[in-house]
Every structure is written in structure tokens, then in C-alpha cells.
């Protein structure tokens, strides 16, 4: 049974009126649909003025020319263009917020027309390529004799490793979990990523000569020193840590979840019954994900509690509208202060807020309103308020400057204040998109290559900005 298309819920069969909720958000295109959609593209841009869609892509995919290849029936050429820019092109085709990036920049929207469905066309081409896995395989450059250690096999680590291998370096990945993929595998809601292409993409990366050790955490300063002694450079693809610990009275009651644990339980099929009323705490894209997943799991009433208003919510606008269309209800200016229940959670004790002066984030500070407390009934509560930085690990690295929980890097190279260390992905931005991690990993791979080839010295710059999640 597909996780995105369950036949039976804990409450019984899926009612006919709810069947639409279990379809993939971006289903695959048939051959004729792909050709018709690709033929709409104007193939704009040129040597002096790149196409807006390509400029909007953090992975720098040549969007107009891969779509033109699809329009001419050349899926292999299209996939080659995509994978040359993004080794996780098939995964990104499914999870990338194209509505905010390439499709938002499509010139057709300036004419009042709908944008090209770039994400679905990318999926079409890359899926065909993965069925013929060596059709777009690239040959690595001759060995350089340099050794690079990549810590973490999430999107940033995988892409950085693959790019470095293509440049001729010997790369070894150490991953604490028993599987690759990081949050792509464990924390993207099943309705968004049903049939994962990640395994095929990882096999292509390993075929470049990358060594991979799973279940091998770098869990002590001594372990890190050993990796330093065995390498010429190290890439930090360690992501973020566990969900932020925001203690509430009653937060140990059964039925109270952290968001990452909740999504992983769904994917591992360990979640049996979430009840009929679900409350989600948070205002970022993960909060939206778990709220929409709760609807698909059979909850009749799903409420998202956010302490500011919709205008301050960091989640993408199209995601908020999608949740609203699914039936998720929003409680603005609502701050949880505790949970009620004895043997199991039965409700969320909330307090109404009002907006005050801007805080450090630049958004209006939520201010409690005295005497406004109320209880919102709930059978399941999911907290989605962000993740903790990996401060303990970062403190093991000599000479590493950390600001606001993140390594300081040169944004042009990914190099940290310890010149042998580079970074990319969530460890730098505090929790961003998969395609942003891909883009940062590519920058770091080139930075590492230049460092290993004794290129001009680089000077660390400002830390990369983060995406707010609370």
C-alpha cells in the first residue's frame, strides 16, 4: 500500500469524497502531456540575458533548453542537462517549491498565462533517465590524489560528494543513520514524495567512485580528529539537530508529537491512530506539511496554531493556500502554553496574542493578552517550531567561528574560518529547501576543488541567512 494512497485508515475505508486528498500533489505527466506542455515554452533567454526561470533556480538548471529537448522528444538530452546541474534532479522535481522559484519567474505569467509546469517536466525527463540509468552517466576526471571526507548523506552531502568525485577527488561519506537522504527520506511528508527516486540517484553518485559508510556517526572529538588526519578537506553536511525543545506543561503526554518524529512514524508505518481532532503548532513549511498529512490520515478537524498573523507566517503562500483547500483551519494570534489530559492528551491550553514592536527577526513581536486563555480540544498535537543547531558538534572543530548556531562561511566558496572545513545545506541556513542545499553543495564543491588545487586563498564572509520556522 502506497503511503500517499492508503486504502484503509485507522477509522475505516477512505470516503469517496476524500479520495482526491491522497493523490500526489504533482503526478507524473504522460508522454503526450509532456510534449504539449513543453511546446508552450518560449525558450527565452540568451548569452547576455539568461532566462528568468533559470536564474531563479538555486541549482542553476538550464530550464529552457531542457524543456526544448523534451518538446523535441529528446528526453535523454533533457535529463542530461538537468543532472549536469543537479545530481538530485529527480528528487527536486518532486519536492522543489517551483511555485516560488522557476515557475514564479516564468515569462508567461507576465502575459496573464499560467506558467510552464517546470517541475513536472523535470520529473518526466529524469524519471525516464532513471529507468535507463547509464544513459546520462558522466565520467569522472582523472584522479587528483586528494581525499575529501563528507559528513552527512543528506542532499548537501550527497551532491557535494558527487560533484567532487566528478572533479577527480577521492570522496568518502560518513552517515550516522542506516540510510542516505537525511530529511528527504525521513521528514518530507509522503503525500509530497510518494515514489522516491533517491535510491537510484544515490546509486549513480556511488558509481562515480564515492565511498559510503552508513550507521557511522562522527560522535566524538577523537573521531573527528581521525577524519581530519585521513583527509585533505572536510565538508559539513550535518544538517540540523532534533526538534527544538520548547517545554510545555503536559508535553510528555501520549499523543504529543514533535514534527520530525511524526513524519518519520508515518513513513515507517508506525502511526496507527491520530484521532479526529489534531492541533499543529508552528508557522513554517513543516507545520503545513504535518497539518496536510493529518488530513490525509483521516482527522476530521485539523487546526494550525500560530502566534502571529498570516502576514508574518514564514511558510510559502502557495502551501498555506493548499492547506486551506485541504480543510486545515488556522488559529492566528494563538500561542500554546500547555497540554491537558491524564492518560493521553485531550487538549491544548492556548493564550490569545496581539502584535507589538518588531523583534530581532524584524517581525512584530507577539504579546500575550491577559485573561485570554482557552482550551482547544485535541486528540493529537504536533509541534513544528524548528530544529536545534548542532552546536556540540561544531564546537569540536578548531578555529570554527559560529554565529547564531551556524558556521560562518564565505558564501562564494562555502569555506569556514577553519580553511580545511566547508559547509552547505541546513547547517548553514537553519532549515531550507532541498534545492537550496543542492546549490550550496555545488558552490562548496568548487570551493573545495580550488582549495585542494592551491587556488587563491579565500576570506570567510558572513553567514548565510536562514528561513524562519517559528
- How far apart, in whole angstroms, are the C-alpha atoms of residue 40 and residue 115? 9
Identify the helix (H) or strand (E) that includes residue 375: strand 374-377
Q: Three-state DSSP class for 421?
A: strand
Q: Three-state DSSP class for 69?
A: helix
CATH fold of 147-241+388-452, please?
FAD/NAD(P)-binding domain (3.50.50)
Q: Is the C-alpha dihedral spanning 264, 269, 272, 278 positive or negative?
A: positive
Average pLDDT over residues 256-268: 86
pLDDT at 64 over 70: yes
Q: Three-state DSSP class for 144?
A: coil
Q: How far is CA 369 from CA 59, 279, 307, 334, 452, in A?
A: 45, 21, 12, 10, 57
C-alpha cell recorded at residue 3:
503511503
Report the mean per-residue pLDDT for the chain.
Answer: 89
Please report the pLDDT score of residue 195 as a whole number. Answer: 58
Q: What is the pTM of this model?
A: 0.89
Please report the pLDDT score of residue 16 as a whole number. Answer: 53
Please report the pLDDT score of residue 242 as a whole number. Answer: 86
Give me the residue spans of the domains in the chain.
24-131, 147-241+388-452, 256-383
Please report the pLDDT score of residue 265 as a whole number. Answer: 83
| Residue in 197, 180, 176 with CA at minimum distance from that of residue 242 | 176
Reply yes or no on domain 256-383 having CATH 3.50.50.60.
yes
Q: Three-state DSSP class for 452?
A: helix
Average pLDDT over residues 213-229: 97
Higher pLDDT, 383 or 14: 383
Of the candidate ranges 28-37, 126-135, 213-222, the one whose mean pLDDT is the lowest: 126-135
Please report the pLDDT score of residue 360 as a whole number. Answer: 81
Please report the pLDDT score of residue 359 as a whole number. Answer: 85
Contact 81, 59 (CB under 8 A): no
DSSP codes, 310-357: GGG--S-HHHHHHHHHHT-EEETTEEEEEEEESSSEEEEEEEEEEEEE
Backbone angles phi, psi at 388, to 5 degrees: -80, 145
With cut-offs at 50, 70 and 90, classify the pLDDT of residue 22. Answer: low
Average pLDDT over residues 247-265: 90
| Residue in 291, 287, 311 with CA at minimum distance from that of residue 303 | 291
Per-residue pLDDT tens digits for 363-419: 889 999 999 999 999 999 999 998 999 999 999 999 999 999 999 999 999 999 999
| Residue in 260, 270, 267, 262 with CA at minimum distance from that of residue 239 | 260
Per-residue pLDDT tens digits for 126-142: 999 999 867 778 899 99
- Which residues are within 8 A (CB) of 401 and not within 5 positions of it... i.e. 6 or more apart? 407, 408, 416, 417, 460
- Which residues are within 8 A (CB) of 339 and not within 5 positions of it... i.e. 6 or more apart? 248, 249, 250, 251, 253, 256, 345, 347, 348, 349, 381
Please report the pLDDT score of residue 314 as a whole number. Answer: 93
- How far apart, in whole angstroms, are the C-alpha atoms of residue 128 and residue 236? 32
| Residue in 261, 269, 329 with CA at minimum distance from that of residue 300 | 329
Contact 374, 275 (CB under 8 A): no
- Which residues are within 8 A (CB) of 417 and not within 5 positions of it... i.e. 6 or more apart? 399, 400, 401, 407, 408, 460
With cut-offs at 50, 70 and 90, classify the pLDDT of residue 464. Answer: very low
- How far apart, in whole angstroms, are the C-alpha atoms of residue 418 and residue 333? 43
Please report the pLDDT score of residue 374 as a whole number. Answer: 97
Same fold, 147-241+388-452 and 256-383: yes
Reply yes or no on domain 24-131 having CATH 1.10.1060.10.
yes
Please report the pLDDT score of residue 266 as a whole number. Answer: 81
- Which residues are within 8 A (CB) of 311 and not within 5 positions of it... i.e. 6 or more apart? none
Please report the pLDDT score of residue 271 as a whole number. Answer: 65
- How far apart, in whole angstroms, are the C-alpha atoms of residue 445 and residue 238? 15
Amino acid at each position: 500500500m502506497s503511503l500517499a494512497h492508503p486504502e484503509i485508515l485507522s477509522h475505516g475505508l477512505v470516503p469517496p469524497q476524500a479520495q482526491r486528498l491522497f493523490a500526489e500533489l504533482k503526478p507524473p505527466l504522460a508522454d503526450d502531456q509532456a510534449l504539449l506542455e513543453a511546446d508552450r515554452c518560449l525558450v527565452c533567454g540568451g548569452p547576455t540575458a539568461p532566462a528568468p526561470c533559470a536564474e531563479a533556480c538555486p541549482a542553476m538548471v538550464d530550464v529552457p533548453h531542457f524543456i526544448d529537448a523534451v518538446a523535441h522528444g529528446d528526453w535523454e538530452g533533457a535529463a542530461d542537462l538537468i543532472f549536469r546541474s543537479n545530481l538530485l534532479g529527480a528528487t527536486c522535481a518532486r519536492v522543489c517549491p517551483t511555485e516560488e522559484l522557476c515557475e514564479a519567474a516564468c515569462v508567461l505569467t507576465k502575459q496573464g498565462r499560467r506558467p510552464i509546469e517546470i517541475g513536472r517536466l523535470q520529473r518526466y525527463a529524469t524519471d525516464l533517465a532513471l529507468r535507463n540509468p547509464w544513459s546520462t552517466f558522466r565520467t569522472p576526471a582523472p584522479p587528483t590524489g586528494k581525499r575529501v571526507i563528507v559528513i552527512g548523506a543528506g542532499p548537501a552531502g550527497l551532491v557535494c560528494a558527487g560533484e567532487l568525485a566528478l572533479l577527480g577527488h577521492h570522496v568518502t561519506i560518513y552517515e550516522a543513520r542506516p540510510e542516505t537522504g537525511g530529511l528527504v527520506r525521513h521528514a518530507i511528508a509522503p503525500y509530497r514524495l510518494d515514489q522516491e527516486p533517491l535510491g537510484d540517484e544515490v546509486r549513480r553518485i556511488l558509481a562515480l567512485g564515492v565511498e559510503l559508510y552508513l550507521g557511522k556517526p562522527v560522535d566524538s572529538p577523537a573521531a573527528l580528529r581521525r577524519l581530519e588526519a585521513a583527509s585533505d578537506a572536510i565538508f559539513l553536511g550535518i544538517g540540523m539537530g532534533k526538534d527544538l525543545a520548547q517545554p510545555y506543561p503536559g508535553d510528555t503526554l501520549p499523543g504529543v508529537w514533535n514534527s520530525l518524529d511524526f513524519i518519520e512514524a508515518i513513513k515507517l508505518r508506525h502511526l496507527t491512530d491520530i484521532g479526529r481532532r489534531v492541533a499543529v503548532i508552528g508557522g513554517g513549511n513543516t507545520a503545513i506539511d504535518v497539518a496536510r498529512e493529518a488530513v490525509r490520515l483521516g482527522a476530521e478537524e485539523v487546526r494550525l496554531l500560530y502566534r502571529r498573523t498570516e502576514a508574518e507566517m514564514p511558510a510559502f503562500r502557495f502551501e498555506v493556500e493548499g492547506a486551506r483547500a485541504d480543510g486545515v483551519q488556522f488559529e492566528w494570534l494563538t500561542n500554546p502554553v500547555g497540554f491537558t489530559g491524564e492518560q493521553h492528551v485531550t487538549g491544548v491550553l492556548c493564550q490569545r496574542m496581539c502584535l507589538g514592536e518588531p523583534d530581532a527577526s524584524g517581525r512584530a513581536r507577539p504579546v500575550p493578552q491577559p485573561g485570554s486563555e482557552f482550551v482547544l480540544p485535541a486528540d493529537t498535537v504536533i509541534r513544528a517550531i524548528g530544529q536545534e543547531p548542532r552546536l556540540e558538534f561544531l564546537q569540536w572543530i578548531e578555529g570554527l567561528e559560529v554565529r547564531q548556531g551556524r558556521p560562518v562561511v564565505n558564501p562564494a566558496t562555502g569555506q569556514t574560518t577553519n580553511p580545511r572545513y566547508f559547509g552547505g545545506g541546513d547547517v548553514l541556513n537553519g532549515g531550507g529547501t532541498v534545492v537550496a542545499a543542492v546549490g550550496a553543495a555545488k558552490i562548496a564543491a568548487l570551493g573545495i576543488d580550488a582549495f585542494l588545487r592551491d587556488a587563491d586563498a579565500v576570506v570567510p564572509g558572513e553567514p548565510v541567512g536562514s528561513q524562519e520556522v517559528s
